[in-house]
Amino acid sequence: MKHKQRELGGRPVEFYGHGINHLQDVEIKGRLIVIEGPDASGRSTQIERITARLEADGHAVLNTGLKRSELVSKGILEAKQDYDLGRKTLALFYAADFADQFEYKIIPALQAGYIVLADRYIYTLIARNVVRGLDKRWCHNLYGFAIKPDLVFYLDVEPSVLIHRVFQKNLSLDHYESGADIGLSNDMYESFLIYQSKISREFHLMQKRYGLIPINGNRTVAEINADLQHRIDQFLDKVMHS
C-alpha cells in the first residue's frame, strides 16, 4: 500500500527469439507475471486471489489465459470437436490464438502500465507439443515472438495428488489433459498419470532455460497463496525502489 503512488519503471521489451518487427522499439511500463501448472493445480483460484490483492494495493491488473483470443479461441474448440486435428496443426492453431492475445491484449496492457497476470503462457503450449513428439527446436522457435515475463511460477503438483483434485473438480478426466490422444495407455487413469509426469518432466527441463520458479503445489490453497504473494510483493518492492 505504501508504494501506491509510485510508478513501475519503463523498459524495452525482451523477446525469446526474433520477436515481432513492429514491436522491437516498444517500451513497456507494466509487468508480466505468469502462473503455470496443469489443470486442477489451482491456478485460477490463485490468480483470483492475487488479482484482488494487487488491485487492493492500487495496481491495474489484466488477466489473460490460453484459448481466450477473439480471433481463434472458438475455432479451436469447434475444430477439436469436429475434426481430428494433426499435432502440428493444433500446435500452430494454439500459437495463433496466443499471438492474437499477445499483440492485442498483453502488449497494450504492459504499455499502459498494467500488471498482466497470465493464467499459463507459452510453456504449457511448448510442453504439450514436445510431449506429443514435435521437435523441440521447432516448438521453441514457434514462440520466439513472445516476450520474457518478469516472473513465471510453476505450480508443481504430484500427478497422484493432481488426479484427485481433477476428480473433485470434474468427476472425469479430460481427453487431452490425460494424453488420451497419444495412446499412452488404454486405461485413462494410468494414461493421465503418465501424461502428467511427462508434462512435469518437460517443465523441469524448461525450469533453467526459462527461469521458471517451481512452487510446491501439493500444499493448501492458503499456503500456496501466501508463498506466491510473498514472492510477488518482494519482486514489486524491488522494481519500485530501483
Partner 1 sequence: MEDYQIAMKTVKPLKMEGKLIVVEGIDGSGKSTQIHLLEKWLGYKGINVFKSEWNSSEMVKEITSKGKKKGLLTPTTFSLLHATDFADRYERNILPLLRAGYFVLADRYVYTAFVRDIVRGCNPDWVRKVYDFAIKPDLAFYFKVPVDIAVDRILVGRPKLKYYEAGMDLNLSNDPYESYRIFQGRIIDQYDSMAEPEGFTIIDGTLNIEEQQKTVRKMIMPLLPHQTSSKKIRKVKA
Instruction: Pinpoint the alpha helices (H) of 33-142.
Output: 43-56, 73-82, 87-101, 107-111, 122-131, 136-142
Helix (H, G, I), strand (E, B) or coil at 219: coil
Q: Is 124 exposed, middle or buried (0-12, 13-18, 19+ CB in 10 A)?
A: buried
Does residue 75 belong to the site contacting partner 1 (CB under 8 A)?
Answer: yes
How far apart are CB 79 and partner 1 at their closest, in Å? 5
Shortest distance, CB of residue 123 to partner 1, whole angstroms?
A: 18
Query: Do residues 10 and 241 touch, judged by C-beta distance below 8 A?
Result: no
Which residue's CB is nearer to partner 1, number 145 or number 154?
145
Rule CB under 8 A: choose which of 6, 27, 58, 71 binds partner 1. 71
**Shortest CB 50 distance to partner 1, Å:** 29
Q: What is the DSSP letter of 184?
A: S
Size of the site for partner 1 (CB under 8 A): 36
**Contact string 1-20 vs partner 1 (x = CB under 8 A):** ----------------xxxx
Q: How far apart are the first and last CA of the chain?
A: 17
Site residues for partner 1 per CB under 8 A: 17-22, 70-72, 75, 79, 82-83, 85-89, 91-93, 95-96, 99-100, 103-104, 133-135, 137-138, 141-142, 144-145
